[in-house]
Chain A
Amino acid sequence: MLTGKQTWQFSNSPVIESWGTSGGPFEAEGKLAADFDVLHDDLWMGQDSYEKAHRVLLEEAIHSALQKGEFQKEEIQFMLAGDLINQITPTSFAARTMAIPYFGLFGACSTSMEGLALASFIINYQGAKKVVTGASSHNAATEKQFRYPTEYGGQKPPTAQWTVTGAGAVVLTDNQDKQGKIVTTSATIGKVVDLGISDPFNMGGAMAPAAADTIISHLQDLHRHPSYYDLIVTGDLGRIGQATTYELLQQAGLEITREQFQDCGLLIYNEDQPVQSGGSGAGCSASVVYGHLLNHMKKGVYRKILVVATGALLSPLSFQQKETIPCIAHAVAIERN
Chain B
Amino acid sequence: MLPMFFWAFVIGGLISVFGQLMFDVVKLTPAHTMSLLVVIGAILDGFGLYEPLIDFAGAGATIPITSFGNSLVHGALQEAEQHGLVGVLTGMFEITSSGMSAAVIFGFIGALIFKPKG
Contacts and interface: CB of A to CB of B under 8 A. Distances in A.
Interface of A: 43-44, 50, 139-140, 149-151, 154-155, 157, 199
Contact of B30 (A43, A139, A151, A154): A154
B6 interface: no
A44 B115 contact: yes
B23 A150 contact: no
B23 A140 contact: no
Interface in B61-118: 115-118
A57 to B, nearest CB: 13
A100 to B, nearest CB: 30
A50 B115 CA distance: 11
A150 B118 contact: yes
Contact of B23 (A44, A50, A155): A155
Nearest to B115: A44
Question: Which size class do B's interface residues fall under?
Answer: under 10
Contacts of B24: 157
B117 A151 contact: yes
B30 A150 contact: no
A149 B24 CA distance: 21
A204 to B, nearest CB: 17
Contacts of A149: 116
A149 B30 CA distance: 13
Interface of B: 23-24, 27, 30, 115-118
Contacts of A150: 116-118
Contacts of B116: 50, 140, 149-151
Interface centre among B27, B115, B116, B118 (most CB of A within 10 A): B118
Contacts of B27: 199
Contact of B118 (A140, A155, A157): A140
16 contacts: A43-B117, A43-B118, A44-B115, A50-B116, A50-B118, A139-B118, A140-B116, A140-B118, A150-B116, A150-B118, A151-B116, A151-B117, A154-B30, A155-B30, A157-B24, A199-B27
A155 to B, nearest CB: 7
Given A155-B30, A157-B24, 17 more contacts: A43-B117, A43-B118, A44-B115, A50-B116, A50-B118, A139-B118, A140-B116, A140-B118, A149-B116, A150-B116, A150-B117, A150-B118, A151-B116, A151-B117, A154-B30, A155-B23, A199-B27
A33 B79 CA distance: 63
B69 to A, nearest CB: 21
Nearest to A153: B30
B21 to A, nearest CB: 13
Contacts of B115: 44
A151 B115 CA distance: 10
Contacts of A155: 23, 30
A140 B117 CA distance: 9
Contacts of A43: 117-118
Contacts of A157: 24
Contacts of B118: 43, 50, 139-140, 150
A155 B24 CA distance: 10
B36 to A, nearest CB: 16
A44 B117 CA distance: 9
A121 B24 CA distance: 47
B39 to A, nearest CB: 20
Nearest to A42: B118
A154 B115 CA distance: 18
A154 B19 CA distance: 12
Contacts of A151: 116-117
